[in-house]
Amino acid sequence: DDLPSIFRVNDLLNRAGMDTISCGGVVAFAIECFENGILTTKETDGLELRWGDGEAIIKLTEMIIKRQGLGDILADGVKLAAERIGQGSEAFAVHCGGMEAPMHDPKFDPGYGMVYSCDPVPGRHSVSSYMLLDLERLDRQFKGAKKTPAFMTAKERYRYENKGDAMAIGSFFRMLVDCAGGCTFGVQIGGDIPLIQWLNAATDWNLSDQDYLHIGERIQQLRHAFNIREGLNPCIDFRLHPRISGHPPLDKGPAKGVSLDVDAMATAYYEAMGWELSSGLPDPARLERLGLHEVIEALHPDRSLRSEP
């Protein structure tokens, strides 16, 4: 509730070109390490790191920006910081594949859990979720998009097997909006926004809704393929920190008692995307339908389906 210090930290990070979500996660990690005796005033240059101490948080933020003292250890994120500090600090390094977790809790909206652990950029809250699908009303616009209301019954909310397709379509739409320069908040006010008509008017392409969704999928598949080529597999490398998935579950609050089935979530999303679960390799036939021949040649050199002219 200390708004002046929050404003000051945001201003510092904006001027430094640094992410506020990640820095917030890093500061929280440092405070927990301090309160549990892993860090002391010796490592913090005399700072007493406590929850709610706005002045100490501002000072630590400045140290991170300038890579001074402890800030140099923290500046690369909680994953690397925990590896450097050790002493059990990994328990407080809340991240998804090295990306600090946003405050959008997948224990309440499991759609975020799918995206945090399966998207080519882990821990990203703006791609899709049950809530975003509900706000964007994609079921009105795109064939195959099912209505997935954010405030469904608890029993239905935690069933994953019928959610992968909707989440995949949500990610395709988000890729389209991002690459078109669209506003992430603007598209959340309802599916009646004539986005496709606007794009056709601007480009003179005269493409259908499904054509544009096809473009969005090409983008998403290409992003994933880049990770696979570089040796990353989201299902292995982007695992959720146990706190994010509710292991152990919380004993109070709206997400009390909730533990997510991370493997079931990943399976649902991977099947919808056509990705092999253990390796992450995309289905070459699907890549062929998308016209991503270069990706087939890069990831499946012995199975290229490209037709000769």
**pLDDT tier at 58 (50, 70, 90 boundaries)?**
very high
- Phi-psi sector, 50: left (phi>0), alpha (psi -120 to 50), beta: beta
Q: Taking residues 67-87, what's their average pLDDT?
A: 98
pLDDT of residue 308: 47
Quote the DSSP letter at residue 281: P
Question: What CA–CA distances, in Å, run from 171 to 86, 178, 207, 272, 280?
Answer: 36, 10, 19, 11, 17
Helix (H) / strand (E) element for 210: namely helix 209-229
Contact 9, 58 (CB under 8 A): yes
* Average pLDDT value over all residues in the chain: 92
Query: pTM for the whole thing?
Result: 0.90
Domain architecture of the chain: domains with CATH: 3-93 (1.10.569.10), 110-299 (1.10.599.10)
pLDDT of residue 147: 72
Q: What are phi and psi of 77, to 5 degrees?
A: 100, 170
Instruction: Give DSSP secondary structure letters for 15-81.
Output: HHT--HHHHHHHHHHHHHHHHTTSS-TTTTTT----TT-HHHHHHHHHHHHHT-THHHHHTT-HHHH
- Of the listed ranges 153-167, 239-253, 259-273, the least confidently predicted one is 153-167
- C-alpha to C-alpha distance for 78 and 99, rounded to whole angstroms: 8
Q: Taking residues 284-292, what's their average pLDDT?
A: 96
Helix (H) / strand (E) element for 96: namely strand 95-96
Contact 116, 96 (CB under 8 A): yes
